[in-house]
Structure 1
Amino acid sequence: MHGAASSGWPLVALCAATGAYCLLRMRSSVEEQRRAAGGEALMGFAMAAMAVPAAVLAPPRWAWLVCAAAFGAAALRALWAARTCSGHLHHSVGALAMVYMAAVMAAAPAAPAHAGHGGSGEPLVTGALLLYFAGYVLWSGARLVPMAARAGDTGGARAAASGTGTVGWGDRPEVARACRLSMGIAMLAMLLAL
């Protein structure tokens, strides 16, 4: 988070591209997918903003507090939605991780001479989030393997066989999983930089 430019810009590009794709997924005809894509787009763009190198953009303390409040609301919304769909639990953990990182950045000293003193967060919380996202990345990466192994079944064949027509590129589950995987990797990178 707001680290060196060499690692910051690729992270910004990855998160912004993922957020943009998730915006396109919001055009899906499946309501649950639209709702999930909206939360993922918000997360992608916010992670891109957080990853901008500090030499380019150093937001004031109040901006981090606004970010923490916004993601606190997003976490509550995801927890409420988790009553009917367990997939929202991951969204709530992601939003709470964003709250945590924004709070750490708000508490960090403003002077660059004090960098490394007081802005690193709680080691237990950071460690727990690192473990969670490392596990999530491994799990979601493993879920992509079976999708790639079905070389003859590209999604459109399944939809045509079920009589629903072809699946648009925005509705492809393997691409949505790849986006979630990339955001998990980005979250790991941001937590490591914390």
Structure 2
Amino acid sequence: MDVSVSGAGAINYEDRLLMIEQQELESQQGHLPPEIYCEFIALYLLQGDLNNCKLLWKRIPTEVKADCAELASLWEIGKCLLKRDLSGVFQKCNGHAWSGVTQNIVDDLKCKHKEKCIDLICKTYSTITAESAASILGCSVDECLTLSAQLGWEIEQDRKTLRPTKQQRKANVSIDNESHLQKLTQYISFLET
């Protein structure tokens, strides 16, 4: 996943997160502009790093939180994720007009969350009502039925009951053993010093 940052070209979300973390450390009094805080929280949410997101929210100055509606809206998404409110995440993502880079990150977050919800439904339910699935997926019943057909789920005659099929697991990506060994060696060396 890439994000275009003004003047910097397309960069990886993980790299951008590291840049913002470094920027926060180097800034005077550890404060950033509100739009950077928005991007910061959105990136933590996208990565599923709710602990760091929560800690970031606590250290953002109160006046910045009060003045930036987008920041508060992002935190609402974070609270839904913390409470495991699946449909609430979609409602909060769709309930705000996001700006620039934040819009791209929120769009990617919605896609990632939808994939997780689909996987959860497949693992959890042998049958589910279309209404319940639509609620979990944050969409209308008609959209849910269309998505179900695309996923190859059985749709009963009454069009009210779905039979999700188990998703095929993607083949494990080959692991670069040499890089893992190097990281482990560095970690052990660090512990020994």
| Both structures adopt the same fold (TM-score exceeding 0.5) | no
Q: TM-score range by the shorter chain?
A: 0.3 to 0.5
Higher relative helix content: 1
**Larger Rg over CA atoms:** 2
Higher relative strand content: 2
* Greater RCO (Cα-Cα under 8 Å, separation 6 or more): 1
TM-score where L is the length of structure 2? 0.36
